[in-house]
Amino acid sequence: MPERSSKDFARFEELFWNVTREMGKMWKQVFESHLPGSQSHLVFTLARKGPLKMSELAQILGLTAGAVTAASDKLIDHGYVTRIRDEKDRRIVYLGITDEGREMLQQLREVGRTKMTEAFSHLNEEQLPIIIEIFEQAAGNISNMKGTEK
């Protein structure tokens, strides 16, 4: 690890936390305006993982089955999520994202991306690849750290 000034690293740490906290707030505001509470996490999970049983979804999200039911009922009412019955065992119900739900997520991502683009509008064409490389390296370090934790 290269030598660095503790003062410089402290300043970097302060700025990093400020930027990530504020960007997180902006992204949350974008999604909370349309998908309050756990609804956004539920839709994102279905978009990433595909149809899931309510119990699987509750476990992944760290919610109760009742909380998943309440959130999914609202999403179903809006047409973003649908219930899918298992063909072999009709008692088993999956939740899946609809095309309308995917479109809504895409629209919200575009709003968030516009805000992020504005926040980083000062970057020039040479700086962005450097920042990407820095974050890829940090992501790799974090991944390695997770692999060594017991």
Side-by-side strand order, sheet with 93-97: 52-53, 93-97, 81-85
Listed as ranges, residues in the chain with pLDDT below 50 are 150
Domain coordinates in residue numbering, the chain = 6-119, 124-150
What's the CATH number for 6-119? 1.10.10.10
pLDDT tens digits along 84-113 = 998 898 888 899 999 999 999 999 999 999
User: Please, are residues 77 and 39 in contact by the beta-carbon 8 Å criterion?
Assistant: no
- For the CA atoms of 11, 13, 16, 18, the dihedral, rounded to the nearest 10 degrees, stands at -80
Is-above-0.95 flag for pTM? Answer: no
